[in-house]
Structures are given as C-alpha cells and as structure tokens.
C-alpha cells in the first residue's frame, strides 16, 4: 500500500524539500499512515491535520483561507477553470476537509500550476501564497485574469481606412524607398527604369521589353525591394520612355493614396494603444506575403467566437510609418501595451519580428507562434531560442504556444481572453517540471531539476539590476 501511495504522488515528487517531496520513500511514516487512511476514505483530512503533515515533511503550514481556496472551493475569478483539472469532483465545493486522495491531489495540482504559472517555481509560489487569507488570494488571482467582460463590452473603435488586399504591398518600407516621399519628383524606381531603358536603346536592343527584364538590365543589388514595388507592372511591356512614365505614374498615384490611408490608420492604432489586445508580428517580402497576411488576420479575427469578443488588434498590412525610426518606436509601444503577441513565421526569420516576440515573452505575455509547415513547427516548438525566455520582472520562464493550424490560433485567442486555457503538468525526467498548453502540447512553463542553477537563480535574480 505504501508503494502504491508513493507511486500515486510520483508527479508531485521532485526530490526537493517540503511540498515537492510530500510523499516519497523518505516521507515520515506518520504521514504515510495518515494518507493511507485517507486513501481508504476512512477519515477526512482537516486543515489542522494537513498542517501537521506538512510540518512533519519540513514544509510550512497553510492558512485557513489557503486551505479553503485550494481544496474547498472553485473560485470563478481564477485565471483558468479549476474544475477542468485532473482529480476534480463537484463534491469538493461542499466540503470543509479533504475527503480522498484524489481530492488532495486536485489541490496539489492547483498549487503546482499556480507556482509554475505565476512564480516560476512551485516551492517559491507555495511559500508566498500559503500564509495569506482567502480574500487576498481572490484579489491576487483576479488581477492575473483577462477582463473578458470589459473587453467584450467596451464598444468599437473608430473605423480604419480600407485598403484593398492587392494594394497593401505598397505600404511596405521597400515601396517607400522605391517611390520616395514625393514619387512624382524623385523616385529610385523611376530613375532606374529610365536609365536602363536608355542603356537598352543605346545598345541597339531596340524595342519592346518587359519591366521585369528592364529592371534586371543592371542586376540591381536591391532587386527584392524594386521587384516588390513594381509587382503590379513587372510583366507589362514597354517600348518607349513615355510608356514607362505612364505605367510608373499609375502605380505611383496608387502608392500615394495607399500610403496616406496607411499613415492615417497608424494614427488610429496609436489612439487605441491603451485598449490593444493583440499585436501581430510578421515580416512581408512579397506582394503575396501581404495578401496572405491580410487573409490570415481576416480568418483569425473573424472567427465566430473571436469576433464576438470585440478584440482590438494590430494588422501589419494596414499600417505605415513616416520612417523606420518611427516604425520601431511604434512597434515597441504596441508590443508593450498589447495583451497577447501573435507571431507569424514566414519563409525566413527576421530580426524585427524575432525581437518583438522576445520582448513580449520577456514581458511575460502570452505569445502564439503560427507556422504553416510541420518542419518549422518542430523548429519553433523545440529548437528556436525564442521559444522560451524569462519574464524580466519576476523571473518566470515563459514559453511560446506553437501551432501550424489557423483554426487553433483563433481557438487559443478565445481561450486566452476568456481565461480558459488548459494545461498538462508533466515531469519528463526526475525533478524537472513542465506545464504544457493542452491544445498544442507547447511547454509554457518549466522548472529545472538543476539544484545549483535553481538556488543561484532565485538567490540573485531579484537582487540584480
């Protein structure tokens, strides 16, 4: 019976002192004997007796409020639904004591979840919470929740300028470099096209040529920038300078209109930064990237459940800045103020979006990584250095939630903003704890089994500048 009991508590036994070694081979016989009675449901475990067992295991006892909060109630203002945890039974809410081993493990599971989620360490979290009363616990955890009702009922923002998905590539910094601030007077793209046409004619190549081939005459080092900016006319054929100027002018005129609309949209985004819920981080290098990103945002945020939540989100295909310096400041502000960051992996990684994801994780925000390829999903989930970082404020390890399914992105956003994320507690190797998000299996919190690292980290983290 003793061995079976020890095996039942294997998940909660890390080898550390106190609560993390409550039931093990080294446990005091008096603790084992009392828990065996509980296992046989012969005698409920009161708060007084639980505290005795905790002290015998070299752990601090708990306040009456803590006992009530974790074993005798299901607070509806907790950051996740405690009734969805393993070992739960509705009868617990009607009890004033621990009535079974499953009941004891349900409370322990909650303690482990909260220690990992909000303190980065089970023992540290336990020691901080076990001495406070129920009112303080209610207040502490309520502050960790998303204000679902407030978000849903706060009303709509001012309308953004509409920009056709086919034209959104024109808001890119590369387009701005190509067309210039005043495209009618000064433009790198226009100058190159005319210079290359003159060279084309001088060499006697003669007549008609595609814009694409004309751009490639001198194999410009900024081909990616120029080809994106001229995407709409790349396959058009020209036979003189007048035709070049006409085709260029048509796109340049559209560029001015789109850029004006996007700059005004940025002002509107800045005006709602206090209420910004989701910042979408990505990199776009082609016209198709802009189209696909626009479709992605539409699918995610117009999902039936998400749409009802009235989320305010930053759509990167709808916004432009006066220059790259302003753009950097704007994006940093939005990452700081947003509640969740949605990272969309592209064909290549870029410093910009990686920095944004790193900043969000280091601020302790939920970060969702979306990538539409299985191989890259594995890379982001298990290899990418940004998949887990430390919250600079409190030292909690924060991991990104990684998925390759758009429908899961919407589902995750809905669960985050309705405080309904579900987790799985695991101990993949002795003493090493991790908390996985249930839908994707992504590790969002972890606790190392390295004692030197643990003690050094927590002894010095909060004292360093």
- Characterize the bridge pairing of strands 313-314 and 340-344: unpaired
Look at residue 178 in the predicted model and tell me its pLDDT. Answer: 81
Lowest-confidence pick of 40-54, 69-83, 111-125, 371-385: 371-385
Residue 465 has pLDDT above 80, yes or no: no
What integer is the mean pLDDT of 96-113? Answer: 97
Residue 176 has pLDDT above 90, yes or no: no
Secondary-structure class of domain 273-463 per CATH: alpha beta
What integer is the mean pLDDT of 121-126? Answer: 96
Look at residue 416 in the predicted model and tell me its pLDDT. Answer: 98
**Which is more confident, 185 or 316?**
316
What integer is the mean pLDDT of 73-93? Answer: 96
Cα-atom radius of gyration of the chain, to the nearest Å?
Answer: 29
Rounded percentage of the chain residues whose pLDDT exceeds 70: 94
| pLDDT tens by residue, 147-165 | 999 999 999 999 999 999 9
Q: In whole numbers, what is the pLDDT of the chain averaged over residues?
A: 91
Name the region of 46 (left: φ>0; alpha: ψ -120 to 50; beta: rest).
beta
| pLDDT tens by residue, 305-318 | 999 999 999 999 99
CB 211 within 8 A of CB 234: yes
Residue 223 has pLDDT above 50, yes or no: yes
> Which 3 state secondary structure label does DSSP give 444?
strand
| pLDDT tens by residue, 198-220 | 888 887 766 889 999 888 887 67
Look at residue 421 in the predicted model and tell me its pLDDT. Answer: 98
Name the residue among 314, 363, 317 with its Cα closest to residue 342: 314
Other C-beta atoms closer than 10 Å to the C-beta of 233 total: 19
Look at residue 266 in the predicted model and tell me its pLDDT. Answer: 97
Half-sphere exposure (Cβ direction) of 293: Cα atoms closer than 13 Å: 27
What integer is the mean pLDDT of 333-339? Answer: 97
Domain residue extents for the chain: 2-145, 167-259, 273-463
| pLDDT tens by residue, 376-424 | 666 666 656 567 899 999 999 999 999 999 999 999 999 999 999 999 9
**Which is more confident, 387 or 21?**
21
Lowest-confidence pick of 18-27, 104-113, 120-129, 330-339: 18-27
What integer is the mean pLDDT of 63-85? Answer: 97
Look at residue 348 in the predicted model and tell me its pLDDT. Answer: 64
Look at residue 397 in the predicted model and tell me its pLDDT. Answer: 94
Tokens of 168: 């959104």
Look at residue 177 in the predicted model and tell me its pLDDT. Answer: 80
Distance CA 344, CA 357 (A): 10
- Characterize the bridge pairing of strands 313-314 and 278-281: parallel
Look at residue 9 in the predicted model and tell me its pLDDT. Answer: 96
Residue 180 has pLDDT above 80, yes or no: no
CB 355 within 8 A of CB 206: no
| pLDDT tens by residue, 412-463 | 999 999 999 999 999 999 999 999 999 999 999 999 999 999 999 998 888 7
Whole-prediction pTM: 0.91
């Amino acid at each position: 019976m003793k061995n079976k009991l020890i095996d039942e508590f294997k998940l909660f036994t890390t080898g550390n002192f106190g609560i993390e070694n409550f039931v093990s081979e080294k446990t005091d016989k008096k603790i084992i004997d009392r828990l065996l009675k509980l296992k046989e449901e012969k005698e409920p475990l009161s708060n007084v007796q639980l505290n005795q067992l905790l002290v015998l295991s070299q752990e601090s006892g708990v306040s009456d409020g803590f006992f009530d909060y974790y074993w005798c109630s299901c607070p509806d203002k907790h950051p996740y639904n405690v009734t969805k945890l393993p070992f739960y039974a509705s009868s617990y809410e009607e009890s004033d004591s621990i009535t079974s081993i499953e009941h004891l493990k349900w409370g322990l599971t909650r303690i482990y979840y909260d220690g990992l989620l909000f303190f980065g360490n089970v023992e540290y979290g336990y020691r901080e919470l076990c001495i406070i009363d129920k009112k303080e616990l209610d207040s502490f955890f309520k502050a960790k929740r998303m204000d679902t009702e407030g978000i849903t009922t706060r009303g709509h923002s001012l309308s953004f300028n509409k920009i056709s998905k086919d034209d959104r590539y024109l808001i890119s910094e590369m387009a701005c470099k190509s067309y210039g601030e005043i495209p009618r007077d000064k433009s790198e793209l226009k100058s190159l096209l005319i210079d290359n046409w003159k060279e084309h004619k001088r060499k006697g190549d003669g007549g008609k040529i595609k814009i694409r081939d004309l751009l490639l005459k001198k194999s410009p080092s900024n081909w990616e920038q120029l080809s994106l900016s001229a995407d709409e006319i790349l396959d058009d054929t020209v036979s003189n300078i007048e035709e070049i100027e006409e085709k260029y002018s048509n796109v340049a005129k559209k560029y001015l209109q789109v850029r004006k609309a996007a700059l005004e949209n940025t002002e509107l985004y800045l005006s709602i930064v206090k209420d910004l819920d989701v910042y979408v981080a990505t990199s776009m290098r082609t016209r198709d990237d802009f189209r696909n990103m626009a479709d992605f945002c539409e699918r995610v945020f117009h999902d039936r459940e998400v749409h009802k939540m009235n989320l305010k989100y930053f759509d990167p295909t709808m916004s432009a800045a006066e220059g790259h310096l302003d753009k950097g400041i704007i994006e940093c502000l939005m990452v700081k103020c947003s509640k969740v960051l949605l990272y969309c992996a592209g064909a290549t990684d870029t410093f910009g979006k990686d920095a944004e994801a790193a900043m969000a994780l280091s601020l302790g925000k939920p970060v969702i990584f979306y990538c539409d390829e299985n191989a890259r999903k594995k890379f982001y989930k298990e290899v990418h250095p940004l998949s887990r970082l430390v919250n600079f404020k409190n030292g909690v390890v924060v991991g990104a939630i990684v998925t390759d399914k758009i429908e899961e992105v919407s589902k995750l956003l809905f669960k985050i903003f309705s405080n309904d994320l579900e987790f799985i507690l695991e101990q993949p190797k002795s003493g090493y704890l991790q908390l996985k998000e249930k839908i994707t299996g992504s590790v969002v919190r972890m606790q190392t089994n390295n004692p030197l690292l643990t003690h050094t980290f927590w002894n010095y983290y909060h004292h360093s500048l």
